[in-house]
Amino acid sequence: MINIIVCEDNKNDLAKIRKSISKIMKSLKIDYKENVFMDYDESFMKIIDKKIPFKFYILDIETPSRSGIDIARIIRKKDYSSPIIFLTGHNDLGVELLSEDITFTSFINKFVNYENRLKKSIINSINAMNKKRILRLKDGNTLYTINLNDILYLTKESLSRKTVIVTDYNEFYISQSLNSVKDLLDDDFIQTHRACIVNKNRVCKIDFKNKIICFDNNVEIDLLSNKYKKEMII
């Protein structure tokens, strides 16, 4: 699931952008969700901080309240990797953008070969996203693509025997065994219990006495056994 975040203050231009996105994503056969805004308001600012997978920004440089360039600065303070595509009807704003120390995917004039350039930029961005650290697995008729950085831990549910992948934003129940999923992970994931694997990069505190593991988003679990304590000396 890719979360495409669009801000465009012109209704007609916004409709064109959404139509183009739908057409492009359908052709690529990629599942996505649109998060649409007409200004950089409070709701937009909240989504910058919201923990959702694979963010993808399409920003209008000029809106009634703020500049898309200012918003990109705010995004980059918290998020260095999400693609950012800028849209505008004024080429001179591109000069200003190039003078900024902001990493972005592309700058597109809405009146010059707009749809083809947007399609190319989206495809390039998705290809770049696919090179990130991800867990990709198929369970039945469902294909899961999960950013490894978003995973807190994996555990085995006692009743259903399913593997539960716990992330910042969701829990995924997988029919595959914990050990088979473990084989798909990298060295940042370590066993802490016969029924638990944690992302050591997300661990911020370990209470060895009470066998509590605390993650960087304040989630705590008590899945630490004596057998695996040595593994937790990070």
Query: Residue 172's domain is classified under what CATH number?
Result: 2.40.50.1020
Q: How confident is the model at residue 46 (pLDDT cuts 50, 70, 90)?
A: very high
Verify that 92 and 206 share a domain, yes or no. Answer: no
34 shares its domain with 98: yes
pLDDT band at 97 (very low <50, low <70, confident <90, very high): low
Say which residue, 36 or 118, is predicted with more confidence. 36
C-beta separation of 68 from 97 below 8 A: no
Q: Where do we find the tokens 């065994």?
A: 177
User: Domain end: 130, 159, 175, which one?
Assistant: 130
CATH number at residue 65: 3.40.50.2300
pLDDT in tens, 168-180: 889 999 999 999 8
CB atoms within 10 A of CB 105: 18
Alpha carbon distance 148, 39 (integer Å): 32
Domain count, the chain: 2
Q: Are 202 and 101 members of one domain?
A: no
Which residue is it, tokens 């008590």? 222
Q: How confident is the model at residue 199 (pLDDT cuts 50, 70, 90)?
A: very high
Of 82, 113, 130, which residue constitutes the final position of a domain? 130
Is residue 86 within 8 Å of residue 108, measured between CB atoms? Answer: yes
14-32 mean pLDDT: 86
What is the spatial distance between Cα 188 and Cα 23, in angstroms, rounded to a whole number? Answer: 38
- Banded model confidence at residue 190, pLDDT cuts 50, 70, 90: very high
217: left (phi over 0), alpha (psi -120 to 50) or beta: alpha
How many residues are present in the chain? Answer: 234
The stretch 129-144 carries a mean pLDDT of 78
Containing domain of residue 226, as a range?
134-232
Cα–Cα distance between 72 and 86 in angstroms, integer?
Answer: 9
Judge if 122 and 80 occupy the same domain: yes
**CA distance linking residue 4 with residue 7, whole number of Å:** 10
The alpha carbons of the chain give a radius of gyration, in whole angstroms, of 21
* Rounded percentage of the chain residues whose pLDDT exceeds 70: 89
- Please give the single-letter amino acid code of residue 20: S
Domain boundary among 130, 153, 174: 130
165 bridge partner residues: 154, 172
pLDDT (average), residues 62-89: 85
Looking at the predicted structure, is the pLDDT value of residue 127 above 80?
A: no
Query: What is d(CA 81, CA 156) in angstroms, rounded to the nearest whole number?
Result: 31
The structure tokens 């066998």 sit at 211
